[in-house]
């Protein structure tokens, strides 16, 4: 097995940053350089003030503090990073295409291809190239074709090593990964490359948890894992709608089915819907692939997971509006939480964006509080939708860092992210300063219904009549 001493990771995002930090910490003999074309991001990674890191993840700051400048480096010099490394991780974004063929479904691979072309141009020594980004099946073949035609006479081994971390628990997930998946060729050099990558993870994970497969299985497994996870959320959310019409309680149903060891208790919390950069994009990808092979039924089956998720969000807004006497125009509504889930500052595909946009369409006056998401980001997310002008967004929506004060004279509060701190707010005080009846719409099932009813709120918890 080739012993790796220098790694380069292209893409200093939510995946590249935490994974490389953990590799640097666990493998002190390896020099890890994370490169990105985004100067601002790299500056933030290098900021001596660790609260300025571009990503908020519990436990990340400590690791960066310990390893940065020793064997972990962040740089915009992509070419130098590529040239020096024996192993290169591609961890750039692979968003849904917004143009051309496959628009709205297929993965946009232009960033990955740019990386491959850059590697082909720069590399003068043999490299192991690792796909860390989530990619549609058969991307490795495309990368290989680009690399093999570079004309430098350099040998490239392409591996697929999808990342299974979840934002908000990334560091813990990396330390205690359920499994690591390494896909590669069965040729002797392919096997050697797989073993080299495996030896990195073996620094902290038992060998049995490192699975080796062929490239296609590895690529497809990542899409399927996300599809299954999202499917569980949509399944329980579909039942939450039924619970609201009957006397069944979603919490009791979740518990009752989760006790079945074949089903298991995790990922059964009803909510206003899943978000995040991955679930929707990866399922759309799966749908696109299935359809492109003529598998209409397979595509329709998985597409329904997304349709249900959209339904859950619009159902939540519709319920808010109906409850607020069919109009929210000019009414002050406070939003608790903008991130797509707790313990992250990532807002991609967050349910809050959709819910607030729909409320703004009804001319509601919105105030948003989130403990980790900046004002700029909130406006940028809304502006990106292009539903109305940036000026209008700023006129109708304000951002606050004082959640309790914000509730003054509000008609309603909507909880859209399950931040722990929302449980400990002084709800008594909040109630006093709100207009009556004081409505709380809990899209995350965070609070206790008896307590909230007891204070006097008109409290709605998703999945409960
Ligand atoms: P991100 O958007 O946070 O980071 C990607 C970074 O790549 C950006 O900083 C961008 O500037 C940089 N970049 C783009 N093109 C570049 C180029 N040619 N050269 C150098 N840098 C370049 O994306 P994130 O969330 O880290 O995701 C990366 C991949 O990992 C995606 O394929 C995603 O599906 C996958 N993934 C994401 C997970 C998550 O929780 N965010 C979990 C598992 C997989």
Give the predicted TM-score (pTM) of the model: 0.93
Strands 31-35 and 6-10: parallel
* Architecture, CATH, for domain 307-461: 3-Layer(aba) Sandwich (3.40)
- Looking at residue 242, what is its pLDDT? 98
Q: Ligand 1, residue 14: give the atom nearest the CA.
A: 26
CA angle, residues 149, 151, 154, in degrees to nearest 5:
95
Which residue minimizes the CA distance to atom 30 of ligand 1?
133
Q: Which residue has the tokens 């072309």?
A: 117
Q: Does the beta carbon of 92 sit less than 6 angstroms from any atom of ligand 1?
A: yes
Tell me whether residue 248 is annotated as binding: no
Strand ordering across the sheet containing 397-399: 397-399, 365-369, 332-336, 412-415, 439-442, 458-461
CA distance 317 to 355: 6
Beta-bridge partners for 212:
182
- Looking at residue 454, what is its pLDDT? 98
CA distance 114 to 70: 29
CA angle, residues 90, 118, 17, in degrees to nearest 5:
30
C-beta of residue 189 within 8 angstroms of C-beta of residue 41 = no
So where are the chain's domains?
Answer: 6-213, 307-461
Structure-block tokens of residue 186: 């069965």
Mutate to test the pocket of ligand 1, among 10, 13, 170 (most ligand atoms within 8 A of CB): 13
Taking only the tens of pLDDT, the chain with its 465 residues reads: 778 999 999 999 999 999 999 999 999 999 999 999 999 999 999 999 999 999 999 999 999 999 999 999 999 999 999 999 999 999 999 988 999 998 988 889 999 999 999 999 999 999 999 999 998 877 888 888 888 887 778 999 999 999 999 999 999 999 999 999 999 999 999 999 999 999 999 999 999 999 999 998 999 999 999 999 999 999 999 999 999 999 999 999 999 999 999 999 999 999 999 999 999 999 999 999 999 999 999 999 999 999 999 999 999 999 999 999 999 999 999 999 999 999 999 999 999 999 999 999 999 999 999 999 999 999 999 999 999 999 999 999 999 999 999 999 999 999 999 999 999 999 999 999 999 999 999 999 999 999 999 999 999 999 998
Tell me whether residue 167 is annotated as binding: yes
The alpha carbon dihedral of 15, 93, 234, 299 has a sign of negative
CA distance 277 to 279: 7
- The question of whether 9 is a catalytic residue gets the answer no
Q: Does the beta carbon of 57 sit less than 6 angstroms from any atom of ligand 1?
A: no
C-beta of residue 465 within 8 angstroms of C-beta of residue 244 = yes
- Looking at residue 132, what is its pLDDT? 94
- Looking at residue 142, what is its pLDDT? 86
Tell me whether residue 275 is annotated as binding: no
36 CA distance to ligand 1 middle (Å): 10
160 CA distance to ligand 1 middle (Å): 15
Tell me whether residue 95 is annotated as binding: yes
Q: Does the beta carbon of 190 sit less than 6 angstroms from any atom of ligand 1?
A: no
Residue 77 burial (CB count, 10 A) = 13
- Looking at residue 149, what is its pLDDT? 84
Burial class (CB in 10 A: 0-12, 13-18, 19+), 207: exposed
Instruction: Let me know if the fold of 6-213 is the same as that of 307-461.
Output: yes
Q: Say if domain 6-213 classifies as CATH 3.40.50.720.
A: yes
Beta-bridge partners for 439:
412, 458
Mutate to test the pocket of ligand 1, among 10, 93, 276 (most ligand atoms within 8 A of CB): 93
Alpha carbon 330 to chain centroid distance? 33
C-beta of residue 137 within 8 angstroms of C-beta of residue 219 = yes
């Amino acid at each position: 097995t080739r012993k790796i001493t220098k790694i380069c990771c292209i893409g200093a995002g939510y995946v590249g940053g935490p994974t490389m930090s953990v590799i640097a910490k666990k493998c002190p003999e390896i020099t890890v350089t994370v490169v990105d074309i985004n100067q601002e991001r790299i500056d933030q990674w290098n900021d001596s003030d660790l609260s300025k890191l571009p990503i908020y993840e519990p436990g990340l700051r400590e690791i960066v503090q310990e390893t940065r400048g020793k064997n972990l480096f962040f740089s915009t010099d992509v070419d130098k990073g590529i040239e020096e490394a024996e192993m290169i991780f591609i961890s750039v974004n692979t968003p849904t295409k917004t143009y051309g063929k496959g628009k709205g479904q297929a993965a946009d691979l232009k960033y990955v291809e740019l990386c491959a072309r850059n590697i082909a141009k720069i590399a003068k020594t043999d490299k192991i190239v690792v796909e860390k980004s989530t990619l549609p099946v058969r991307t490795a073949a495309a990368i290989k074709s680009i690399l093999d035609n570079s004309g430098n006479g350099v040998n490239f081994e392409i591996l697929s090593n999808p990342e299974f971390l979840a934002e908000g628990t990334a560091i813990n997930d990396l330390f205690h990964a359920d499994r690591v998946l390494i896909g590669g060729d069965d040729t002797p050099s392919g096997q050697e490359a797989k073993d080299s990558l495996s030896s990195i993870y073996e620094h902290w994970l038992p060998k049995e948890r490192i699975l080796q497969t062929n490239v296609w299985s590895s690529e497809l497994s990542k899409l399927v894992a996300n599809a299954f996870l999202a499917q569980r959320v949509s399944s329980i959310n579909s039942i939450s709608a039924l619970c609201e019409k009957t006397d069944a309680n979603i919490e009791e149903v979740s518990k009752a089915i989760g006790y079945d060891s074949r089903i298991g208790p995790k990922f059964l919390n009803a909510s206003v819907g899943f978000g995040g950069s991955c679930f929707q994009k990866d399922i759309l990808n799966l749908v696109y692939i299935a359809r492109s092979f003529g598998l209409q039924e397979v595509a329709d089956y998985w597409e329904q997971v997304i349709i249900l998720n959209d339904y859950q969000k619009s159902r939540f807004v519709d319920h808010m509006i109906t409850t607020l006497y069919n109009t929210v125009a000019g009414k002050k509504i406070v939003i608790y939480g903008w991130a797509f889930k707790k313990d992250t500052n990532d807002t991609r595909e967050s349910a809050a964006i959709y819910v607030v946009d729909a409320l703004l369409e009804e001319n509601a006056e919105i105030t948003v509080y989130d403990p980790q998401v900046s004002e700029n980001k909130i406006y940028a997310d809304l502006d990106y939708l292009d539903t109305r002008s940036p000026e209008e967004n700023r006129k109708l929506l304000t951002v606050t860092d004082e959640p309790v004060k914000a509730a003054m004279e509000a008609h309603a509060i909507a909880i859209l992210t399950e931040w722990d701190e929302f449980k400990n707010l002084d709800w008594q005080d909040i109630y006093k300063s709100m207009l009556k009846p004081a409505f709380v719409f809990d899209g995350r099932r965070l609070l206790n219904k008896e307590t909230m009813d007891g204070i006097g709120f008109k409290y709605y918890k998703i999945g409960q009549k």
